[in-house]
Amino acid sequence: MFGKLDLSAIPLSQPIPLITSAIVILIALGVLVLITVKGWWPYLWREWITSVDHKRIGVMYCLLGVLMLIRGFADAIMMRTQQAVAINAPGYLPPEHYNQIFTAHGTIMILFGAMPLVLGFMNFLVPLQLGVRDVAFPTFNSVGFWLTASGALLVNLSLFIGEFARTGWLPYPPLSETAYTPGVGVDYYLWAVQISGIGTLITGINIVTTVLKMRCRGMDYLRMPVFCWTALASSLLIVATFPVLTATLAMLSLDRYLGFHYFTNTAGGNPMMFVNLVWAWGHPEVYILILPAFGIFSEIFPTFSGKPLFGYRSMVAATLFICIVSLLVWLHHFFTMGAGAAVNTFFGISSSIIAVGTGVKIYNWIFTMYGGRVRFEVPMLWSMGFIFTFIIGGLTGVLLAVPPADFITHNSMFLVAHFHNVIIGGVVFGIFAGLEFWFPKVFGFRLHEGWGKTAFWLAFIGFWVTFAPLYILGLLGMTRRLQHINFEVWAPWLYVSMAGVGILILGVISQVVQLVVSIRNRDKLRDVTGDPWDGRSLEWATPSPPPFFNFAVMPNVTGEEAYWGIKLRAVETQQLSPEPKYEPIEMPINSPVGIYTAFFTSIFGFAMIWYIWWLAIVALVAAFAGFVVFAWRDVHEFEVPVEEVARVDRARRAARAALLERLSGTRGAS
C-alpha cells in the first residue's frame, strides 16, 4: 500500500536531523497558524499564490531563493565545523550524514537558492525594462514558479522522511545506480531536480519569447538594457541545456527503476555517457547563473557612476560570446578521466577563451567608473567587492583549465575554493547588489544604509577568511568531500576557515537586522519618486511599487538608456510631456493552475520516490487533468477601467513633477 514507506523512514535514532526537523516543522506550523489567525489567507491566495503578475512571481522566486540560501548556509556551517573538529577524530557527524550534507548543500545552493533568485530577477525586471506589461505567457509563468517550489519542497522533505543522496551534487554512476545506492536518497534527488527543471525550462521559454517578441515601441535590440541581454543569453542556455538534464536524469531513472543499463558497464552501458551528458548541462548551468549577475552589475555601475555604461555594444557581444562558448567547454570537468591529450587541449583552450569575454566585461565596468562621480552606496559596494573577488576566482579557473595543472588540482580543495570564489563573489554578490538596488522599486522604501554596509564588509571579509585557506589546503593535497581528516598540517587552515564562517554568520545576521530595521523605519525610508538612485532604465519610470499593469501608456523609446533620455528631455524643457490620452487596459486574470499542478506533482514525486505506484498514477493524472482544465479558459483577461488607469498615472505624474524640480536643482541638465 505504501511502497517502501514505513515508520523507519523517520530518523528517530539520529538526533541532528530529528531536532532540525522538529524545529522546522514548528516554525512552519507557527507561520501557518499566524496566517490563519490573522485571516491573511484570502489576501495571499488572491494576490500572491494565484497571481500571474510577473512582478509578484519574481518576488516569490526571490523569497524561495533566500530561504534556500539560508538552508544551504546551515549545511555549510555544519560541514566547516565537522572538518575543524574531525581532525584525527570522528567528529560529530557520521560519514553517511556528512555525505548527504555536501550533496544537499551543493544541490540546494545551485538549483534552489541561486537559480530561483536569478529567475526571480529576470521575471521582475525584464518586462519593466522592456516597457511592456507582462511576460509572454503569464499563466505558464506561475506554473513554472510553482514547479520549482515543488522541487524545493521534495528536497527539504528528505530531511524528515528518509534520506538525501550521498553522491555529490551531480550523481555520477555507478555510485548512483541502485546496486551501490539502494536507498531513496538518489530518488529524492532525481524527482526534485526533474520537477524543478521543468519549471526552469518554462521560465526560460517565457523570457526568450518575451525578449524576442514583446519589446515596447522603439526598443530595438541594441537599445535594450544589458540586463535584458544577459537574461536572454541565460534563458537561451536554459532552453538549450535543461532538456539535456531532463533526458539524462530520465535515463538514470530508467536504470534505477526498471533495470535499464544506460550507465552501467554490463549489457553495453557506459558511465562516461552520464558524465559527458551531465556536464553538457552542468557547465552551462554556472553561466546561466553568472550572466544575469553580470547584467545586474551592468545596471549598477552606470547608475552609481553617473555615466552611461562604457562599451555597451562590446558588452552585448561579450555576453553572446560567453553564451555560445560556454556550450563548448564541458569536458574541463573531467580532464583526468582519460579523454587523451588532443581532446583535453581543445577543451582547455576553449575554457581559457571565456576569460577574454569576461575580461572585456571587467574592463568595461572599470572604465564606466573611471572619470565618473562614483557614489559608494550599498549596491555599489557589492559590485566593487565583486570585481576584486571575481577576478581572483576567474583566474584560478583559468589555472584549472590547463590540463596538466588540473591533474594536480582536480577534486582538491583548490577546486572547491575556485568555484565558491566565482559563485559567491559573482552570483551571490550580484544577487545582494541587486536586492539592495531594486528593493525600493519592489516595496516602495529603501533598505537601511548603515546595516547594509556592515553586512557587506562582514560578508566580504568573511568570504576571504573562509575560502582563501581552501586554496592553500588544496595545494597541500587536501581533497574535497572528506568526512574526517588525518593530517595535522591541515588543521590551522581548517580552523581559520571555520573562523571565517563565524564572520559570515555575523554578515547574515546584519542582513536580517537591516531588513527588520528598514521595515520599522519604512516611513523615513519611503521612496515617493519611483526613482531613488537616479536610474537610467525604464523600471525607474514607474512608481514604487509599480502598478500591476506597469505602464499606463506604453513608452516610446528613442535611444539607449530609455529612461535617462526621458529625464534629460524633461529637465531641459522643464516640463513633463503633456498628459496622454488614457485607454482601458487588458490584463490577464489570476489562475490557480500553478499551485494546483505543483501540489499534485509534489505528491507524484513523493509517490515515485517511495514506490507507491497507485498514488503516483493518481497524482500524475490529477496534475495533468488539472493543468488542462485550469489552463483552458474561455475568459482569460479583464479590463482595467480608464478611470483607474488615469488615477494611477496622474499620481505618478505628480511625483515626477517633484522629482523634476529636485533634479533641475541639483544638476541642471547635465
Give the interface with ligand HEM as residue ranges (CB under 6 A).
73, 76, 79-80, 102-103, 105-106, 109-110, 113-114, 168-169, 416, 420, 423-424, 428, 466, 480-482, 501, 504
Angle, helices 271-305 vs 429-443, to 10°: value is: 60
Least distance (Å) between residue 290 CB and ligand HEM: 11
Closest CA to 438 of 49, 122, 69, 68: 122
Least distance (Å) between residue 423 CB and Cu ion: 12
Cα gap 327→113, rounded to integer Å: 23
Residue 426 binding target from ligand HEM, Cu ion, ligand HEA, none, CB below 5 to 8 Å by type: ligand HEA
Q: Is 486 exposed, middle or buried (0-12, 13-18, 19+ CB in 10 A)?
A: exposed
Phi, psi of 556 (to 5 degrees): -125, 115
Write the single-letter amino acid at 186.
V
362 binds ligand HEA (CB under 6 A): yes
Least distance (Å) between residue 340 CB and Cu ion: 19
292 binds ligand HEA (CB under 6 A): no
Cα gap 414→407, rounded to integer Å: 12
Residue 354 binding target from Cu ion, ligand HEA, ligand HEM, none, CB below 5 to 8 Å by type: ligand HEA
Least distance (Å) between residue 284 CB and Cu ion: 8
Q: How many CB atoms lie within 10 A of CB 96?
A: 13
Residue 73 binding target from ligand HEA, ligand HEM, Cu ion, none, CB below 5 to 8 Å by type: ligand HEM
Residues 6 or more apart whose Cβ sits within 8 Å of residue 127: 54, 133, 134, 135, 210, 214, 550
Tell me which stretch binds ligand HEA (CB under 6 A): 132-140, 223-231, 400-408, 554-562: 400-408
Residue number of the CB closest to ligand HEA reads 394
Least distance (Å) between residue 456 CB and ligand HEA: 20
513 binds ligand HEA (CB under 6 A): no
Please identify, using beta-carbon distances, which residue of 103 and 529 lies nearer to ligand HEM: 103
Please identify, using beta-carbon distances, which residue of 364 and 412 lies nearer to ligand HEM: 412
Identify the residue among 59, 152, 155, 354 touching ligand HEA (CB under 6 A): 354
Please identify, using beta-carbon distances, which residue of 302 and 393 lies nearer to ligand HEA: 393
418 binds Cu ion (CB under 5 A): no
Segments in 39-53 forming alpha helices (H): 41-44
Q: Applying CB under 6 A, what is the total number of residues that bind ligand HEA? A: 28
Identify the residue among 358, 483, 514, 518 touching ligand HEA (CB under 6 A): 358
Cα gap 309→75, rounded to integer Å: 39
Q: Applying CB under 5 A, what is the total number of residues that bind Cu ion? A: 1
Residue number of the CB closest to ligand HEM reads 106
Residue 236 binding target from Cu ion, ligand HEA, ligand HEM, none, CB below 5 to 8 Å by type: none
Grid cell 557527524 is found at 93
Query: Measured in whole angstroms, how far is the alpha carbon of residue 86 from the centre of its chain?
Result: 33
Q: SS in 3 state form for 76-128?
A: HHHHHHHHHHCECCCCCCCHHHHHHHHHHHHHHHHHHHHHHHHHHHHHHHHHH
Please identify, using beta-carbon distances, which residue of 168 and 308 lies nearer to ligand HEM: 168
Tell me which stretch binds ligand HEA (CB under 6 A): 399-407, 448-456, 523-531, 605-613: 399-407
105 binds Cu ion (CB under 5 A): no
Closest CA to 99 of 183, 212, 20: 183
406 binds ligand HEA (CB under 6 A): yes
Identify the residue among 97, 283, 567, 656 touching Cu ion (CB under 5 A): 283
Tell me which stretch binds Cu ion (CB under 5 A): 276-284, 379-387, 438-446, 558-566: 276-284
Tell me which stretch binds Cu ion (CB under 5 A): 42-50, 226-234, 283-291, 636-644: 283-291
Least distance (Å) between residue 333 CB and Cu ion: 5
505 binds ligand HEA (CB under 6 A): no
Buried b / exposed e over 53-63, threshold 16 CB at 10 Å, is bbbbbbbbbbe
Please identify, using beta-carbon distances, which residue of 304 and 414 lies nearer to ligand HEM: 414
Please identify, using beta-carbon distances, which residue of 395 and 657 lies nearer to ligand HEA: 395
Reduced DSSP (H G I as helix, E B as strand, rest coil) percent helix, strand, coil of the chain, to 5: 70, 0, 25
Looking from the CA of 103 toward its CB, the CA atoms found within 13 Å total 26
Looking from the CA of 371 toward its CB, the CA atoms found within 13 Å total 7
Residue 109 binding target from Cu ion, ligand HEA, ligand HEM, none, CB below 5 to 8 Å by type: ligand HEM
419 binds ligand HEA (CB under 6 A): yes
Tell me which stretch binds ligand HEA (CB under 6 A): 25-33, 187-195, 282-290, 461-469: 282-290
Least distance (Å) between residue 193 CB and ligand HEA: 15
430 binds ligand HEA (CB under 6 A): no
Least distance (Å) between residue 387 CB and ligand HEM: 18
Per-residue contact flags (x/-) with ligand HEA for residues 305 to 344, judged by CB under 6 A: ---------------------------xx-----------
Identify the residue among 11, 271, 394, 626 touching ligand HEA (CB under 6 A): 394
Least distance (Å) between residue 522 CB and Cu ion: 42
DSSP code per residue over 53-84: -HHHHHHHHHHHHHHHHHHHHHHHHHHHHHHH
Residue 400 binding target from ligand HEA, ligand HEM, Cu ion, none, CB below 5 to 8 Å by type: ligand HEA
Tell me which stretch binds ligand HEA (CB under 6 A): 4-12, 85-93, 153-161, 411-419: 411-419
Residues 6 or more apart whose Cβ sits within 8 Å of residue 160: 10, 11, 17, 21, 24, 25
Please identify, using beta-carbon distances, which residue of 73 and 382 lies nearer to ligand HEM: 73
Q: SS in 3 state form for 495-561?
A: HHHHHHHHHHHHHHHHHHHHHHHHHHCCCCCECCCCCCCCCCCHHHHCCCCCCCCCCCCCCECCCCC
> Do 436 and 378 contact (CB within 8 A), yes or no?
yes
Give the E-state strand segments of 555-666 in sequence order.
Answer: 585-588, 637-640
> Backbone dihedral region of 39: left (phi > 0), alpha (psi from -120 to 50 degrees) or beta?
left
Cα gap 374→639, rounded to integer Å: 44
Residues 6 or more apart whose Cβ sits within 8 Å of residue 481: 99, 102, 168, 411
> Do 310 and 221 contact (CB within 8 A), yes or no?
no
Please identify, using beta-carbon distances, which residue of 214 and 327 lies nearer to ligand HEA: 327
Buried b / exposed e over 561-591, threshold 16 CB at 10 Å, is bbbbebbeebbeeeeeeeeeebeebebbebb
The pairing of beta strand 637-640 with beta strand 585-588: antiparallel
Q: How many CB atoms lie within 10 A of CB 282?
A: 19
Tell me which stretch binds Cu ion (CB under 5 A): 50-58, 282-290, 390-398, 495-503: 282-290
Please identify, using beta-carbon distances, which residue of 253 and 466 lies nearer to ligand HEM: 466
Q: How many CB atoms lie within 10 A of CB 8?
A: 10
Please identify, using beta-carbon distances, which residue of 128 and 501 lies nearer to ligand HEM: 501
Give the footprint of ligand HEA on this chain (CB under 6 A).
Answer: 286, 289-290, 332-333, 351-352, 354-355, 358-359, 362, 391, 394-395, 397-398, 400-401, 406, 410, 415, 418-419, 422-423, 426-427
Give the footprint of Cu ion on this chain (CB under 5 A).
Answer: 283
